[in-house]
Amino acid sequence: MAILIDRHSRIVVQGLTGSSGRRHGLLCRDYGSQIVAGVTPGKGGTHLDGIPVFDTVAEAVETCHADVSMIFVPPPGAAEAILEASEAGIRLAVCITEGVPVRDMVLVNRALANSSMRLIGPNCPGLITPGQCKVGIMPGDIHQPGSIGVVSRSGTLTYEAVKQLSDAGLGQSTCVGIGGDPIIGTSFIDVLSLFNDDPDTKGVFLIGEIGGTAEEQAAAWIRQHLRKPVAAYIAGMTAPPGKRMGHAGAIISGGSGRAADKIAALRDSGVQIAESPASMALAMQKAFKAAGLSSHDS
């Protein structure tokens, strides 16, 4: 079992005919994902490497029965693309676009409050269920099917964690990059809840970073609800206050958002902490051991 996507997911790429949409749309198809349609206003009726292109998402849903959207629309139009996907009946939208204005995302989240569509991102690498489906820009070859759920604010660190997990024989159920912007569609807690309910996810690895309080909130939820071994890595231990580190949401301000506070909260909730990026798989193995389980069972 997996969460959010599997081999049956039918994907429309909004922005398929742009350079990034084309490249990653075709890479996802090469991985095995069902890329059933593309959307570029004004290019409806054309095809890209055998993939039909429509003017609207509604047409792609009606004609090709798409239920997942991967969005590569430039920042000024990304919010409108997300809302179009929702209105067309898409169940899951994955917005890869970086630089979406915060004000736009405030309006998007308000509009999606009454929608059945889940949004991943923006400014995220997407998600992958290894061996079944990839919706995003992550390198598929480093992932291996298994039962470790991965959720992360950082794309690059996700790839490092996954490579270590795979090399250690710890395959993944689903890996979700939730994005590093201040306002995103799906939170740590949302994904942790899905992993908690998935019988084939045996353990969880969480990757956080400085800025905001999402990791502290996740720690409190883990303490109360999560019934599986959890390990984590928090990036930004040496970040000076007031400096933004990589992501728009990774900034320490007003005395909050420090890595040390996040690590303390997670430790208090029984999470095994990786002390460096090089020890992420080891931390996951220690989490299993602390729970009296064998990581080989994963």
Question: Active-site residues: which are they?
Answer: 247
Token couple for 163: 């490579």
Kindly write down the DSSP assignment for every residue of 116-153, as one continuous string.
S-EEE-SS--EEEETTTEEEESS-GGG--EEEEEEEES
109 backbone dihedrals φ, ψ, rounded to 5°: -60, -35
The token pair at 119 is 């949004």
- Alpha-carbon distance 87 to 94, whole Å? 15
Q: Where are the alpha helices (DSSP H) in 131-256?
A: 155-167, 188-197, 214-225
d(CA 253, CA 267): 23
